Structure 1
Amino acid sequence: MVAFAHFLRGSLREVQVHSKTTNRIGEEISHAMTSTNNPANAAHRSMADQMGHLGRDEAIGGFGMMTISQTLSSLALAQVGCERIATTPLPIVYSLLVRRTTYLYCWLLPFALIESDNWFTPVFVAVVAYVFLGFRRLRTNWNNYFATRRMVCHWTPCAELSKSPQPRP
């Protein structure tokens, strides 16, 4: 399962994770999974095959198989959702509207408030501009959600799974 998380993280962030998976599942299996088009999917199929063998050998009971099957289904749904987020770009219209609206609003706001707020207008406009420009910055980070840059949310299920302790020798 940890290899699945590493492969998913690697495909979403477009980084090599072969060295991190080698010590978990072995050089041969890691190389075989890495050479496929979708290593995370290969790891998921491997987990499903292993559970199928355990079920046929009756090493796991019916309720155990049902629970493991639900867990594997949840992992597959999470993988599909993450891949959709990573491969679906935001339309350019959204970036243009956010940028133009932000600048226009921040430019016109002082003129609208000068009568009512007097000397407090620059402070209020600065706070509003800071918030709106923060929204604009946040929008630029949404384009590449799984990147390793700063300012991106690093808590993802695959990141948490890949932080599991090292196996004992």
Structure 2
Amino acid sequence: MVRVLVLSTLIAAMISIVAGPAFAAEFAADTTSVTLSAAPWISLLQEIVITAVIPAVAAYAIQAIRKVYPWAALFLTQARVEQMANAVTEYAINAVPGAVKEGKLSINVGSAVIAKAVQRAVDAAPAKALEAAGGQAGLAEIVFRKLSLEDGANEGNTLAPVVARLPAANR
């Protein structure tokens, strides 16, 4: 019987030691409260991102731009030359009598269209775009390739006379 009494006293003591603070906190006034705030953690994470991640991402982005820049510049330059060539060709077809958009052009009309397109580019296009096209002779070749010419027209009898009339400094 003494053993049961000692054992029950020990169990009661252990329960009071373990559960006592919980019961005391429940019955006592709320003088101790623990609040966990995420603000310091968010602030710390923000500092890490600002000081480490953003510069690293920017460095990788700059490196990627440096590797792609020559290709991008080449693509943009080619697109600009193509746009200029289309514009001056359309202008020249509309400006030269006898030239039609859908039909085939004769040798004389084709040469006149090429000459008019090159002159329009010299007058209106930016010098860098004309230079990127290969100068006046290069632009004349691009316009020649864009035209639909009759079967007898070729580079020798349609393009060569126009290139020969260009000023020597601009060829």
Report the TM-score when normalising by structure 1: 0.28
| Structure of higher CA gyration radius | 2
Report the TM-score when normalising by structure 2: 0.28
